[in-house]
Amino acid sequence: MDTHTYPVTRTDAEWRARLTPEQYAVMRGHGTERPGSCALLYEKRAGTFSCVGCDQPLFESKLKFESGTGWPSFNDPVPGSVENTVDRSYGMVRTECHCARCGSHLGHVFDDGPPPTGLRYCINGVALKFEPAA
């Protein structure tokens, strides 16, 4: 069980009131949205992708790329915004990424991305909201 405390905490009832059922299943239940199901996969404008759970800026659109996986993919998060843990579910070992401010599950990070980082942050679009640049 995760005993880490985060700057933003909410009761289960508060999370359920704030999030849609799909967002809750992904962000609090460590679920995964259906690939290709989120409109943010196709978002190409300049701006910032933030956590739906706490409004923390997570990824800049200039680091978003098309990975062909069906989920929004990024090279690198905003510094200090994302934390990683080992995910041993489904008989695999993966690196889970979650919001550093509220602990919500975002997706996973893989080492098969393009330069310059070689990383692919594969993020559930329902965990993100997009704010276009001014």
Catalytic residues: 122
CB–CB of 71/59 below 8 Å?
A: no
Residue 131, helix vs strand vs coil:
strand
DSSP 109: E
- Give CA 66 to chain center in angstroms: 16
- Give CA 19 to chain center in angstroms: 14
- In terms of Cβ atoms closer than 10 Å to its own Cβ (0-12, 13-18, 19+), residue 128 is buried
Spatial separation of the C-alpha atoms in residues 131 and 134, rounded to whole Å: 9
